Structure 1
Amino acid sequence: MGIRDIIEGKRQWRAHLDRVKALPPDYQIVYKEMQRYLFKVGPVDLSDGHLLAGIVDFFDEGVAAGKGVLELIGTDVAAFCDDLIKDSRTYADIYQESISGKPGTAER
């Protein structure tokens, strides 16, 4: 990864944050909670940025339709996030595999 890639990545992240800041306050609060949860749970492919950008797109559609954020996702933010990443591999999965001694992993 070169310096240009780093600069472009920062530019894309700042543009993403600008989109989040343009959302209504209740959407921003829920987005930040979702982001915090997803960073903690750690889906492996979170760093590519498609999941978070997709959430903002989904929220933009909700705002355009005049819906409240809880109408879109329900009252359980964690359950909504879990549903989003149910088919994604997480760092917790990788850890569990490493300690279970499955083939291809180092035994302790």
Structure 2
Amino acid sequence: MSIQDIIEGKKQWRKHMARVKMLPQDYQIVYKEMQKYLFKVGPIDLPDGPLLPGIVDFFEEGAATGKGVLELIGTDVAAFCDDLIKDSRTYADVYQESISGASGTAEK
């Protein structure tokens, strides 16, 4: 990864966060909680993938129609996030694979 890639990534992240700041306050709060949760358990490609921008798109559409954020996603934010990433490879998967591989090599 070159310096130029890093700079471009930061520019894109700042634009993304500017879009988040344009959302209504309740949407911003839920987005930040989702972001925290997804960075802990989310897919490996989360920073570069389409998931976070897709959530912002979804939230912008919901806000434009006048719906509350909990009307869109329900009251269980973690369950909503889990459903979004159910088919994605996560850091937890990588960790489990490393444990499985490590115990398998220790037995040999």
Under a length normalisation based on structure 2, what TM-score does the superposition of the two structures give? 0.92
User: Which residue type is aligned with residue 51 of structure 1?
Assistant: L
Q: Deviations over 1:1-59 (max 9, x none)?
A: 11111111000000000000000000000000000000011311102141100000000
Does the residue aligned with 2:83 lie in a helix, a strand or coil? helix
Distance 2:25 2:49 in 1: 22
Report percent identity of matched pairs.
79
* Paired residues for 1:44-59 under 5 Å: 44-59=44-59
Q: Deviations over 1:38-97 (max 9, x none)?
A: 001131110214110000000001011110000000000000000000000001111111
Q: Paired residue for 2:62?
A: 62
Runs of 4+ residues over 2 Å off in structure 1: 105-108
Unaligned 5+ segments in structure 1 are none
Distance 2:105 2:67 in 1: 51
Deviation at 1:99, TM superposition (A): 1.4
Distance 1:28 1:47 in 2: 18
Q: Paired residue for 1:15?
A: 15
Unaligned 5+ segments in structure 2 are none
Q: Is the 8 A contact 2:42 2:85 kept in 1?
A: no
Query: What is the alpha-carbon root mean square deviation over aligned residues?
Result: 1.7
Deviates more, 1:73-82 or 1:37-46: 37-46
Deviation at 1:106, TM superposition (A): 6.6
